[in-house]
Amino acid sequence: MAKSIRLDFNATEDQTSFFTANEVDGSERKVKLSLRIGGPKQAGLSEGWLGGKRIFQDKIGSFKNEPIRENKELDGKTLTVYTVVTDSIEENENLTEVRYDLNEGVGEVHTTLSKKVSQQGDSVYYKFEVFFFKI
């Protein structure tokens, strides 16, 4: 069995995270997640959890419009996405970055997280969390 990125995130000091709340409604419209790994020569791997259950794993690199669930299914649940980004050994900047875009809820969430690594080829663990609520 493959080791979970979630476990690695909890065990490392080289991490950064984001948390917010987002309103959903009773519609059947699917909330969608897009994720973009920073530089062109950076590698990324992600896994997603919803309400404590894994909904995707081992997603390599960037992706667009990954369906999470319908709005009506999300009230009271938390989406957590763990992403590990490895800096390129060919670039001198040493800055890792990941952008998260969550769409199709009542509101939208857009954020970019970044962290500089001390050495080329090092990795940073990112955590993106959204708590869904309905008024």
State how far the alpha carbon of 104 is from the alpha carbons of 3, 5, 98, 135, in Å: 31, 26, 20, 16
Containing 8, the helix (H) or strand (E) segment is helix 5-11
Burial class (CB in 10 A: 0-12, 13-18, 19+), 48: buried
Residue 133's pLDDT is 95
Q: What is the mean pLDDT of each run of 10 residues along the chain (135 residues)?
A: 56 75 95 91 93 95 96 97 87 84 94 89 92 94
Rounded CA-CA distance 133/24 in Å is 6
**Domain definitions of the chain by residue range:** 5-133
Give pLDDT, residue 1: 42
Reading the block at residue 13, the tokens are: 């000091």
Residue 105: what pLDDT? 87
Segments of the chain assigned E as strands: 15-23, 30-37, 43-50, 53-60, 63-70, 78-86, 95-103, 109-116, 123-133
Task: Tell me how far apart the alpha carbons of residues 123 and 12 are, in angstroms, rounded to a whole number.
Answer: 10
